[in-house]
Chains A and B, each alone.
Chain A
Amino acid sequence: MVTLLQQLLNGLTLGCLYALVALGYTLVYGILELINFAHGDLVMVGALVSLSVLRWALGWGWPMWAALLLALIVAMSVCAVLGVALERLAYRPLRHAPKLAPLITAIGLSMVLEQGASLIWGRGYLTFPDVGLAHPWEWGGVVVTTMQGVIVMGSLTLLGGLLVLVQRTALGRAMRATAQNPMAAQWLGINTDRVILTAFLLGAVLAAVAGLLIGMYYQVAHYTMGFMVGLKAFTAAVLGGIGNLPGAVLGGLLLGLLEALGAGYLGDWTGGWLGSNYKDVFAFAMLILVLIFHPSGLLGRHAPEKV
């Protein structure tokens, strides 16, 4: 029972991080039907930028909260600029090209970001400064760190904020209108280019936050870390039904939980034959099962194949 609760808590933490990144994929896909494979690398940039800012600020003797705040702001700004630049310079010129062109471009951009980061931060694993939120709180054997609390509360606040933005505000209406029929949206006076830019901007800012949180949580950052995070988050978005925002949150949480449960129980279930290092296999096997029985994802709509 203790193991179960502990793994559920770990899974929730992980799931929140996946959900933050998954929203970036699903926001852009919902409007453009483009899988922005470079999105995971924005998480990496967010982590590495906040690592540098934290080291710099702490080196100058800044208090921890001020250093974290600065790291958050700088990482969000850098990722926002990058996200907008990707859209303006790489994707917008291909807006009316066949769908394969922006897809290949996305993979290329992912490589450009990774190699660019390796030039700035090197190819080694970098240790994230200890931000001192590791204080453990224990209830009957179940341990929660302050860090996990910060991650879960922070992520859920952002996720809720984004859902409110999209469902309840004029900007969100413009985004949904653009997603459902761009030509009609334009003829109602909506500047769809600006709406698309906003989607990239929001996704990039969430990626920056995720990068900082992931760096703090695992205390390590590396120029290729965006690949696996991106793949997992993309999986989460597909699991929930890509293009569907609550679906991305659900998919992220579910994937995090599956992974944590796989890590906690695979050894027991298989009599030690498969260890916790098979947790990814377990999570992806679940994805395959969901897609076999419900191809459009858990909350997705059955739509005609468009790609």
Chain B
Amino acid sequence: MTALLDAQQISKHFGGVQALQQVSLQVPAGAIIGLIGPNGAGKTTLFNVLTGMVRQDGGSILWRGAPLPVGEPHRVAQAGLVRTFQNIRLFPQMTVLENVMVGFHVRTRAGVLGAWFQSAAVRREEQEIHDRSHEWLAWVGLEAMAHREAGTLPYGAQRRLEMARALATQPALLALDEPVAGMNTVERQSMAQLIARIRERGIALLIIEHDVRWIAQLCDRITVLDYGRCLAEGTPAEIQADARVIEAYLGHKSS
């Protein structure tokens, strides 16, 4: 089976700094892949390259067998690869419901003329977007807050809203950059459950995270980066038993 996202021998340097050296990573359809490593290991750089935010200097990236449109996030999203960021990026002055409705934009037709003349087809589409946005909110447990301004939600709820909005675009792969950063244990577990439910819908996930135990319970496979190189790759059990990983990354944490 070919992978959804297939990155081979990726290299990237900024000036004289070699940020990534020949890193390979595959995300099969429906899988959860973890990306871990100490601070400065190149996780975010790899993430940006994999999602077409910046172009790699060497190596190839194929999304469903074709190159990614680099520098055009809207086309990447249209192709079914959607990402979130470490810092939450909502539309703070829109309602929670409207935030999710924007997510449907990618799968609908919204022209100036159609918007103005409000043809029957446009109105039907609007109604459907409205109803399905409510469904997504219920699915992530935010239905009660649908009409609040998004910027006023508590932190954990904002993260959930960001997920609901991304899911509305009907992605094949959802890439999450530190989705539980700044959360307490209860919130982390609840996010883990949400991620597991997303996978049950057949959506693949690529997740950057610091908390190794948290990510080990979720992932099918984990890639460990260190100094821009792939230090290890394998199942969570293999990674947690790998002597090099323990030395580079887990050593100071496991007691």
Known contacts A188-B77, A188-B103, A188-B165; A169/B91 CB under 8 A? no
Contacts of A81 in B (CB 8 A): none
Q: Which of B98, B101, B105, B108 has the most CB of A within 10 A?
A: B105
- Whether a CB of chain B sits under 8 angstroms from the CB of A177 is yes
Q: Is the CB of B112 within 8 A of A187?
A: no
Contacts of A184 in B (CB 8 A): 85, 89-91
Q: Which bucket holds chain A's interface residue count?
A: 20 to 34
- Whether a CB of chain B sits under 8 angstroms from the CB of A161 is yes
**Nearest chain B CB to A6 CB, angstrom units:** 36
**Nearest chain A CB to B129 CB, angstrom units:** 7
- Whether a CB of chain B sits under 8 angstroms from the CB of A181 is yes
Known contacts A173-B101, A188-B105, A188-B166; A183/B90 CB under 8 A? no
Q: Is the CB of B112 within 8 A of A188?
A: no
- Whether a CB of chain B sits under 8 angstroms from the CB of A191 is yes
Q: Which of A165, A171, A184, A190 has the most CB of B within 10 A?
A: A184
- Whether a CB of chain A sits under 8 angstroms from the CB of B141 is no
Contacts of A301 in B (CB 8 A): 93
- In the complex, what distance in Å separates the CA atom of A165 from the CA atom of B104? 17
- Whether a CB of chain A sits under 8 angstroms from the CB of B35 is no
- In the complex, what distance in Å separates the CA atom of A187 from the CA atom of B89? 10
Residues 143-184 of A at the B interface (beta carbon under 8 Å): 161, 165, 169-174, 176-177, 180-181, 183-184
Q: Is the CB of B105 within 8 A of A161?
A: no
Question: B77-106: contact bitstring with A at CB < 8 Å (1 yes, 0 no)?
Answer: 110001111000111111000100111111
**Nearest chain A CB to B96 CB, angstrom units:** 13
Complex: chain B residue closest to A186, CB-CB? B73
Complex: chain A residue closest to B79, CB-CB? A189
Q: Is the CB of B115 within 8 A of A189?
A: no
Chain B contact residues: helix, strand, loop or mixed: helix
Q: Is the CB of A181 within 8 A of B91?
A: yes
- Whether a CB of chain B sits under 8 angstroms from the CB of A198 is yes
Complex: chain A residue closest to B162, CB-CB? A184
Complex: chain A residue closest to B78, CB-CB? A189
Q: Is the CB of B115 within 8 A of A170?
A: yes
Residues 104-163 of B at the A interface (beta carbon under 8 Å): 104-108, 110-112, 115-116, 118, 122, 125-126, 129
Q: Is the CB of A188 within 8 A of B116?
A: no
Q: Is the CB of B103 within 8 A of A180?
A: no
**Nearest chain B CB to A201 CB, angstrom units:** 8
Q: Is the CB of A189 within 8 A of B111?
A: no
Q: Is the CB of B89 within 8 A of A181?
A: yes
- Whether a CB of chain A sits under 8 angstroms from the CB of B223 is no
Q: Is the CB of A190 within 8 A of B102?
A: yes
Q: Is the CB of B89 within 8 A of A171?
A: no
Contacts of A174 in B (CB 8 A): 102, 105, 110
Contacts of B84 in A (CB 8 A): 187
Q: Is the CB of B92 within 8 A of A169?
A: no
- In the complex, what distance in Å separates the CA atom of A23 from the CA atom of B234? 57
Partner of A169, one of B83, B90, B104, B110: B110
- Whether a CB of chain B sits under 8 angstroms from the CB of A185 is yes
Complex: chain A residue closest to B104, CB-CB? A170
Contacts of B126 in A (CB 8 A): 169-170
Known contacts A171-B111, A189-B169, A190-B105; A180/B77 CB under 8 A? no
Q: A177-B102, A180-B94 are in contact. List 19 more A-B contacts (CB 8 A).
A: A161-B116, A169-B116, A170-B104, A171-B110, A171-B115, A176-B91, A176-B93, A176-B94, A177-B94, A181-B92, A183-B85, A184-B89, A186-B77, A187-B73, A187-B76, A188-B102, A188-B105, A190-B106, A301-B93
Q: Give me the interface of A with B, judged by CB distance under 8 Å.
A: 161, 165, 169-174, 176-177, 180-181, 183-192, 198, 201-202, 301
Q: 10 A-B residue contacts at CB 8 Å?
A: A161-B116, A169-B126, A170-B108, A171-B115, A173-B101, A183-B73, A186-B77, A187-B89, A189-B78, A189-B107
